[in-house]
Amino acid sequence: MSVEHESIPPWYKQFWPWFLIGLLASSITFSLLYLTLSIRYYDGSVGGDYYKQGLAINEQLAKQEHAKTLGLEAMMRADPQTGDIVVDLQGERRPERLHLALIFPTDSDRDRSVSLEHVRNGRYVGAIDEPLNYRWYLQLQPAEGQDAEWRLTGEGRFPSDDEVALVPGL
């Protein structure tokens, strides 16, 4: 009786060791890639006073209700060539200066604010240093910060020659 010995190839010529090494290498590669992306595109952390900010939503709603009772509405235009911003405010209150916050939806580093001066009959004018592109959330109020008496909000897509309505509401 003769016994034939089956020849076993060395490990580096077999499928399974390379499959397992490939799994490990791919997990390390993707981990390093995600680590690099998370460091490069850091989007901030939750503020320490998030609970207070959550409770302040009632104050923001009250500001918008106050704007509604005053009958305030505004139309805004942004000139794409010059960067001029013109706001026509209608309603009982017409302060000497308005504050317009331009909030970019996905990147707070791109947020801007503009101070608008009253020129005549509810018309306010201001300017920005570079033209607006993409979609922006807009907040118009008589003073900068959280202490404003009322607030109008809107949403605009720029560049555009159309007017954007700013109304009381979220």
CATH number at residue 135: 2.60.40.10
Residue 122 lies in a domain: yes
The boundaries of the domain holding residue 96 are 72-166
pLDDT at 170 exceeding the cut of 60: no
Residue 57 lies in a domain: no
- To the question of pTM greater than 0.75 for the whole model, the response is no
How far apart are alpha carbons 147 and 105 in whole angstroms? 23
pLDDT at 22 exceeding the cut of 90: yes
Give per-residue pLDDT as tens, 117-154. Answer: 999 888 999 998 888 888 999 998 888 877 788 888 89
| Torsion sign across C-alpha atoms 25, 28, 29, 30 | positive
Say what the pLDDT of residue 45 is.
63
* Closest by Cα among 111, 91, 107 to 99: 111
